[in-house]
């Protein structure tokens, strides 16, 4: 029995309750379903990385790190970004190690968005953007990506910008669609924000997972955008350690100063032993440059295993997600078919409608291929057995 409180209070997020992710998790546990739903690897990270954390703890690096992060780690990030993307960030004033990419997103929005502001973002989207904006007393403005390619309609963006627009949130490579920004997208974004005070918050946690030899077109590759952007990335996604909860932010010094004001009271500093391990591990650039090929093999395996399934797979240009279409063989909603896949076929996926605030149902489900080969084969086998309805 839960404790009852006599306190009267008013919720800041009254419409946020049990999400479809929780429902799917509970249903999957009941049916011991194969997990193709969660956006996290089910395989172990490099033993060298675990050894690095162990060594850091044994060497007594167990107290607070500096507020903005371990300087050797920030130096490696600065070198990586300069080499790969061409932008140069000051190690002391323009790089922040955060306690997860999610904390980086929260600190950036909280530090830079004020009551009455508007924030444009694109759906389907990661589910935290809009609630964080609302917590600042600001208004999230959702624009829908255009199917079937999940492209941004830049004319719609132009029409949505008002004098109150403070921020535009972008995500490339994109969760959940697996699509990526092009150089032309960056040029359009730069054109629309030129001579404005609009900040770009760019969620680039899958920056190293771009397929088919393509380049990651992040904000740091475009000088005009880099000057107005906060870029958020993730060690957890890059190094298969999502539970370690360490990420980083890049931003011009004046913007970073405001982000740090929130960060220092929210977390003060990210986990110290993990930072030492990452600093040692990232000395070898292959630790992150090999990631695209690693996940492309998984994507290609998943596509080949599902070739004879009833689902129609959409292309995935990045991230570790595939979308699968089902309206040609079922008139179910995406939530209904996801529940049927769990209860009748023992495989868990995610309905795309969960990534829309209005529950838009495009008859698509999301599959994660960030799994070991046995899980991918078992999950694909289950999906190949699905019967029309």
Over the stretch 13-71, which tens digit does the pLDDT of each residue have? 988 877 777 888 899 999 999 999 988 899 999 999 999 999 999 999 999 999 999 99
Q: Identify whether the C-beta of residue 182 lies closer than 8 Å to the C-beta of residue 214.
A: no
Structure confidence at residue 173 (pLDDT): 98
What is the reported pLDDT for 25? 85
With beta carbons less than 8 A apart as the criterion, state whether 114 and 138 touch: yes
pLDDT of residue 23: 82
Report the distance separating Cα 258 and Cα 219, nearest Å: 19
Q: Determine which helix (DSSP H) or strand (DSSP E) holds 206, and give its type and residue range.
A: none
Q: Other CB atoms closer than 10 Å to residue 294's CB: what's the count?
A: 12
Looking at residue 383, its pLDDT comes to 97
Q: Residue 324 in contact with residue 312, Cβ under 8 Å?
A: yes
Measured over the CA atoms of residue 249, residue 252, residue 255 and residue 260, the dihedral's sign is positive
Distance CA(93)–CA(111), nearest Å, equals 16
- Rounded to 5°, angle at Cα 243 from 242 and 245: 80
pLDDT at 21: 76
How many whole angstroms from its chain centre is CA 291?
16
Over pLDDT 70: what percentage of the chain? 100
Position 339 scores a pLDDT of 94
Looking at residue 32, what is its pLDDT? Answer: 94
Residue 370: both structure tokens together: 């960030």
Q: What is the pLDDT of residues 176-203, one digit of tens each?
A: 999 999 999 999 999 999 999 999 999 9
Contact between 120 and 170 (Cβ < 8 Å): no
The whole-number mean pLDDT for each consecutive block of 10 residues of the chain, a chain of 389 residues, reads 91 82 87 93 96 97 97 98 98 98 98 98 95 97 97 98 98 97 98 98 98 97 98 97 96 98 96 98 97 98 97 97 97 95 97 95 97 97 93
Q: Are 199 and 167 in contact (CB under 8 A)?
A: yes
> What pLDDT, on the 0 to 100 scale, is given for residue 138?
98
- Other CB atoms within a 10 A radius of the CB of residue 237 amount to 25
């Amino acid at each position: 029995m839960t404790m009852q409180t006599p306190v009267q209070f008013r919720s800041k997020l009254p419409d946020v309750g049990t999400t479809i992710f929780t429902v799917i998790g509970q249903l999957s546990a009941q049916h011991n379903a194969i997990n193709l739903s969660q956006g996290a690897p089910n395989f172990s990270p490099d033993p060298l990385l675990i050894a690095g954390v162990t060594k850091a703890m044994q060497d007594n690096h167990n107290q607070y790190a500096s507020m903005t992060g371990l300087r050797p780690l920030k130096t490696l990030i600065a070198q990586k970004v300069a080499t790969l993307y061409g932008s140069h960030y000051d190690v002391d004033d323009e790089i922040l190690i955060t306690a997860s990419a999610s904390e980086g997103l929260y600190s950036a929005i909280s530090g830079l968005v004020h009551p009455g502001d508007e924030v444009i973002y694109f759906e389907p989207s990661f589910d935290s953007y809009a609630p964080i904006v609302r917590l600042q007393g600001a208004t999230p403005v959702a624009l829908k990506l255009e199917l079937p390619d999940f492209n941004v309609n830049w004319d719609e963006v132009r029409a949505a910008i008002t004098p109150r627009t403070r921020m535009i949130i972008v995500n490339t490579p994109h969760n959940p669609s697996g699509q990526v920004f092009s150089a032309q997208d960056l040029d359009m974004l730069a054109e629309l924000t030129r001579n404005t005070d609009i900040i770009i918050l760019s969620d680039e946690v899958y920056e190293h997972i771009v397929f088919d030899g393509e380049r990651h077109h992040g904000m740091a590759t475009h000088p005009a955008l880099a000057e107005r952007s906060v870029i958020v990335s993730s060690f957890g996604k890059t190094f298969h350690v999502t539970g370690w909860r360490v990420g980083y932010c890049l931003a011009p010094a004046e913007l970073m100063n405001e982000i740090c004001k929130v960060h220092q009271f929210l977390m003060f500093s990210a986990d110290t032993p993990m930072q030492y391990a990452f600093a040692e591990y990232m000395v070898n650039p292959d630790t992150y440059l090999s990631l695209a090929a690693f996940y492309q093999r998984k994507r290609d395996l998943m596509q080949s295993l599902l070739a004879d399934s009833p689902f129609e797979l959409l292309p995935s240009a990045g991230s570790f997600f595939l979308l699968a279409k089902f309206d040609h063989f079922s008139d179910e909603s995406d939530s209904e078919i996801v529940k049927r896949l769990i209860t009748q076929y023992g495989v868990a996926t995610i309905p795309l409608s969960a990534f829309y605030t209005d529950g838009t149902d495009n008859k698509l489900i999301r599959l994660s291929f960030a799994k070991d080969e046995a899980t991918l084969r078992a999950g694909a086998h289950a999906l190949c057995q699905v019967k029309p309805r």
